Structure 1
């Protein structure tokens, strides 16, 4: 199936099953899922067989990038970034290979000044 297949999350034929898989016309969906607000794209996520799997991106209402990262089998993997509306990096989170462990987290204010930083101690 082509990865260029795309549906809008608000489409009446999009649903979720009891296991929280995304369905389109009753079948687990593979492709891109979009969300629009006021006619503007605000999110774009990749799905495979109804499970979020691949790039995940969100935009502020003005079109500037709000966040991006990668999801594998429904769980965050690797680096996720968030930006303030002015384009300044707001947060950086790094998830472990299991998708459950947050390994580090850093936050900045709208002027780019660090406000919080945390890293998992690997000496366990």
Structure 2
């Protein structure tokens, strides 16, 4: 259980850092500038590679959220939030899931599919 607490703390700190950086960018440049920067970065080959890689990972996380949700409607909402907000949404989601499942990673990863997977073994 202590490992879960350390990971939860680490994810919480990461989320706070991300919130601070996001607030700074929003205050100094506005939200729309973030969209222009993201789109404009595709003109640079390495920034395009980074953003494509990151976007594919966020899409994969959105699919996982859809898979593990208690219903496809809730999963769709969680997936869309992950696509729109990235780690601002997914970090708290994972922390809450870990707390709810008392650190059982099988339950965290499988969500509603855990009982079916458990009966196979």
TM bin (shorter chain): under 0.3
Normalized per residue, the structure richer in strand is 1
Q: Which has the higher contact order (CA 8 A, sep 6+)?
A: 2
Q: TM-score, normalised by structure 1?
A: 0.23
More helix by share: 2
